[in-house]
């Protein structure tokens, strides 16, 4: 399982933490992935309905799980089970999103 943390207070909600397992799963190094939005894993056959479901869940700040077709650095496709949850500070303000990813 790979883990990423994104910062929704920054433009485009970039990944600010990427686990080493992310590189194993996707072929992208921690350095290549950090600072990017997770959308860079999408490709020509990624379901636009899944992408929209992710956008809506992020806007609603809800926990969710979805299977989405992503692409590795080498261009090969894989089904990614993505689990995302919002992380709030003590005052209830959204600080981060944590994502766990497992190839299905």
- pLDDT digits over 43-83, tens only? 999 999 999 999 999 999 999 999 999 999 999 999 999 99
Instruction: Take residue 85 and report the two structure tokens written for it.
Output: 């949850």
Q: Are residues 69 and 46 in contact, defined by beta-carbon separation less than 8 angstroms?
A: yes
pLDDT confidence of residue 81: 98
pLDDT of residue 93: 98
Q: Spell out the domain ranges in the chain.
A: 2-103
Residue-level pLDDT at 35: 98
Q: Taking the complete model, does pTM exceed 0.85, yes or no?
A: yes
Which CATH code fits 2-103? 3.30.450.20
Rounded mean pLDDT, 78-101: 98
- Chain segment 11-22, per-residue pLDDT in tens: 999 999 999 999
Q: Provide CB contacts within 8 A for 18, sequence distance 6+.
A: 2, 3, 4, 30, 33, 34
**Tell me, what's the pLDDT at 41?**
98
Rounded distance, CA 26 to CA 33, Å?
10
For residue 100, the model assigns a pLDDT of 98
């Amino acid at each position: 399982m790979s883990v990423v943390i994104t910062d929704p207070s920054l433009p485009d909600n970039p990944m600010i933490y990427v686990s080493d397992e992310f590189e194993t799963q996707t072929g992208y190094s921690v350095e290549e992935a950090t600072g990017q939005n997770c959308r860079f894993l999408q490709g020509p056959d990624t379901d636009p309905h899944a992408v929209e479901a992710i956008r809506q869940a992020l806007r609603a700040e809800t926990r969710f799980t979805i299977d989405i077709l992503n692409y590795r650095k080498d261009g090969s496709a894989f089904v990614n089970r993505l689990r995302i949850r919002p992380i709030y500070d003590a005052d209830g303000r959204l600080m981060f999103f944590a994502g766990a990813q497992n190839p299905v």
